[in-house]
Chains A and B, each alone.
Chain A
Amino acid sequence: MSTAVRQHTAARTDRRPATMGQALRRALRDALADDPAVHVLGEDVGTLGGVFRVTDGLTAEFGADRCADTPLAEAGILGTAVGMAMYGLRPVVEMQFDAFAYPGFEQLVSHVSRMRNRTRGRLPMPLTVRIPYGGGIGGVEHHSDSSEAYYLATPGLHVVTPATVADSYGLLRAAIASDDPVVFLEPKRLYWSKADWDPEEPDAVPGIGKAVVRRRGSSATLITYGPSVPVCLEAAEAAREDGAEGWDLEVVDLRTLSPFDEETVAASVRRTGRAVVVHESPGFAGPGGEIAARITERCFHHLEAPVLRVAGFDIPYPPPMLERHHLPGVDRVLDAVARLQWESGFTSGRDGAEGRGGGAL
């Protein structure tokens, strides 16, 4: 299991360790309490509290109309949520696992994402689709897909994926409050990651669309999101300790894949001159390709090396006994960082933000 992401706010006495799952549940609870238009629906979200227990206790507190077990039908869940939104409700639907959202894909791309556009803004779709995603939990087939590229390729959807306990709460509240549909990807192997967090005073998380620099560094930027954030932070620590000439890596957590915070990413890469995009989903036609292209367009003259990608292999998600070979881990990230030297004889940190350090070609 990955290390918990360090919270960068100072620990306070009223803070207690909370898991990402608990923060998500709290966000749902508070949204239901604050706005009677919010309705939670999905498979097993009622009595059971969802297979990951994220909706635990919501039916008991708000009734079976506000947190409803639905028939087992993803297109039905998303399709009825469209109608509910048309009548002024704000549905928050749960898809049980990443690969089980696919039967609902048609409703998502043909209607959820387009209804505002089609009706010239008269029928906004304020609905949130929560999807536990990604691997690393030893799930059997269809329980570990990273499907973000599909959603990113669909104009009209926002795609959000938190990596910390505080962000889980803040971003889910923002998603539910959004007047646009949000695909909210929950990195399922971080559900149990803990951090000190005070639910009465949730950290101020900027709304959808803002990336954050999780770790400052000067020699290269790791651009990542969701389950790969802790991996990259660990890699950054390891790189620094790796001998006297270690790398000082900056880590950018995108938090929101769409809209994409180009400014934060470009500012970071201009400072460091090198970038690696890290994600779990297959690399071919994956988010990394898009991000690398944008960095090249925006930062070409600042780049000391090509933008590299560390991604899952271009294979159907492997069986549990082999998944560790597929998932980008610390070593693979460090290998990529080493390749950033790009025959340049690059040694250590850079001399100044705009400087062209280290004997580049």
Chain B
Amino acid sequence: MTVLEQPGTYTPAPPPSWRPRTEAAPLLPEAEPYRVLGTRTAEREGDTGPDADLLRRLYAAVVRGRRFNEQATALTRQGRLAVYPSSRGQEACQVAAALALRAEDWLFPSYRDTLAAVARGLDPVEVLSLLRGDWHHGYDSPGTRVAPLCTPLATQLPHAVGLAHAARLKGDEVAALALVGDGGTSEGDFHEALNFAAVWQAPAVFLVQNNGFAISVPLAKQTAAPSLAHKAVGYGVPGRLVDGNDAVAVHEVLAEALERARSGGGPTLVEAVTYRLEAHTNADDATRYRADGEVEAWRAHDPVTLLERELRDRGLLDEETVREAEAAAERQAAELRERMHQDPQPDPMELFAHVYAEPTPQLREQAAQLRAELAAEQEAAAARPAGNPAAGEETR
């Protein structure tokens, strides 16, 4: 018998349990991206503005990040890096992400987020391991609390949720911040991660760096949503829309979201609206899919300039401070250059070392085969007459 056939049990409206747990309104993101820099006089009268110390730290880190992007791109031209996805234009997002974290929090970066890892204090050469190609991953993840730079899109998001959930189960006040691009929000893992985080109220914060393109595909072909931050509402998660070139605004929004997460308030989805000033990677030709005019318009909204202007307006930036920041950035670049010009010597036998805790019999056999091949190579090299080191061997 169906419900309709039972007299008296039919109610025209679904019972109350069918209602969403949370009203949509408080979850909705801002209509316009939230900004702090340059808004003080107009909208924030009497406001003393962002903390001077924070401004200076963000400025130094953004200048260093800009220089890092230039240096790493140059290293691709010298064949020292296999590939580099520049985050020029997005430095504010990356730096703010790193500086919003506490030591005990975890960062889950994607391949473009080298800067966030470096700004968190990691060794730049170790961070570049993946892109240089000497190993898939170069730093101590558990030690630094930075997950490996993740290449398959959005797959790091559920990892962040699981880690945050585990930390909460253990009673630790730890939050996980996961970074993803605008294209990555179309992947199924984005959905599953947000849904898991919401249902579990996991202390995870998601930062979408909407830089306009997924390689060549513009945002309009990725989504029909009013904004990517709007996607949060469907999960019962607050969405925040922020100007991604405004380091202070991103830092403020993330710090607040992370604090909420740590104190049991659940996840937040933050969309930072920014722009990728360079091509997808050094191997990409951006002129095929975007007009110069668009790039120029975004150059006028440069994250370094925005910070500089604020600092100057507040009397916090003199020529000396600028020189110091630039000198520090230059020192880092020079050190990077020098260390990257040393040839890495990866040990081929390490290929078998970390497949399993204990190598299988089959892997032991294969390791023995490679060891013999390497020994034969060495023997052949030793037997070659001196003065003709490359004889009989392909140049590498």
Contact = CB atoms under 8 A, between A and B. Distances in A.
Contacts of A331: none
Q: Summarize B's interface: helix, strand, loop or mixed.
A: helix
Interface string A88-128: 11010000000000010011001100111111111110000
Contacts, number: 139
A259 B355 contact: no
Contacts of B135: 120
Interface string A239-266: 0000000000000000000111111000
B356 A82 contact: no
A76 interface: yes
Interface string B157-188: 11111111111011000001000000000001
Contact of A71 (B164, B166, B176, B192): B192
A76 B192 contact: yes
B355 A86 contact: no
Contacts of B170: 87-88
Interface stretch (B23-31, B88-96, B147-155, B289-297): B147-155
Contact of A82 (B142, B159, B188): B159
A70 B360 contact: no
A153 B356 CA distance: 15
A122 B350 CA distance: 14
B163 A75 contact: no
Given A83-B162, A87-B167, A73 B356 contact: no
Contacts of B167: 87
Given A71-B199, A83-B176, A119-B141, A107 B155 contact: yes
Contacts of A279: none
Nearest to A111: B155
B331 interface: no
Contacts of A156: 355-356
A76 B166 contact: no
A79 interface: yes
A347 interface: no
B158 A158 contact: no
A145 interface: no
A39 B168 CA distance: 14
Contact of B163 (A87, A115, A158, A261): A87
Interface string A257-298: 011111100000000000000000000000000000000000
Contact of B162 (A80, A117, A179): A80
Interface residues of A, number: 49
Given A83-B159, A106-B155, A120 B354 contact: yes
Interface string A154-174: 011010000000000000000
B140 interface: yes
A83 B163 contact: yes
A76 B354 contact: no
A123 B156 CA distance: 14
A353 interface: no
Contacts of B166: 83-84, 86-89
Q: Among the interface residues A87, A110, A260, which one has the most CB atoms of the partner chain B within 10 A?
A: A87
Contact of A117 (B136, B140, B141): B136
Nearest to A107: B155
A81 B169 contact: no
Contacts of B192: 71, 73, 75-76, 79
Contacts of A81: 162
A139 interface: no
B86 interface: no
A116 B356 contact: yes
Contact of A83 (B160, B188, B191, B356): B160
B193 interface: yes
A355 B209 CA distance: 71
Contacts of A358: none
A80 B165 contact: yes
B362 A111 contact: no
A306 interface: no
Contact of B196 (A71, A120, A178): A71
A259 to B, nearest CB: 4
Contacts of A260: 360-362
Nearest to A73: B192
B354 A116 contact: yes
Contacts of B143: 122
A85 B159 CA distance: 9
B362 A80 contact: no
B360 to A, nearest CB: 4
Given A71-B195, A87-B170, A106-B152, A120 B357 contact: no
A74 to B, nearest CB: 9
Nearest to A209: B360
A86 B159 contact: yes
A359 B164 CA distance: 68
Contacts of A258: 360
Contact of B195 (A76, A122, A155): A76
Interface string A63-74: 001000011010
B326 interface: no
A65 B169 contact: yes
Contacts of A209: 360
A349 B164 CA distance: 62
A80 B135 CA distance: 25
Contact of B356 (A80, A89, A118, A158): A158
B155 A120 contact: no
B152 to A, nearest CB: 5
Given A259-B362, A260-B361, 7 more contacts: A78-B158, A79-B158, A86-B147, A88-B170, A120-B137, A123-B142, A259-B360
18 contacts: A73-B196, A76-B161, A80-B165, A82-B158, A83-B161, A83-B162, A83-B165, A84-B166, A85-B162, A86-B159, A86-B162, A87-B162, A106-B189, A110-B155, A116-B355, A116-B356, A118-B137, A259-B361
The 8 closest A-B pairs by CB, nearest first: A83-B162, A79-B158, A80-B162, A76-B192, A259-B360, A83-B163, A87-B166, A83-B159
Interface of A: 39, 65, 70-71, 73, 75-76, 78-89, 91, 103, 106-107, 110-111, 114-124, 155-156, 158, 178-180, 209, 258-263
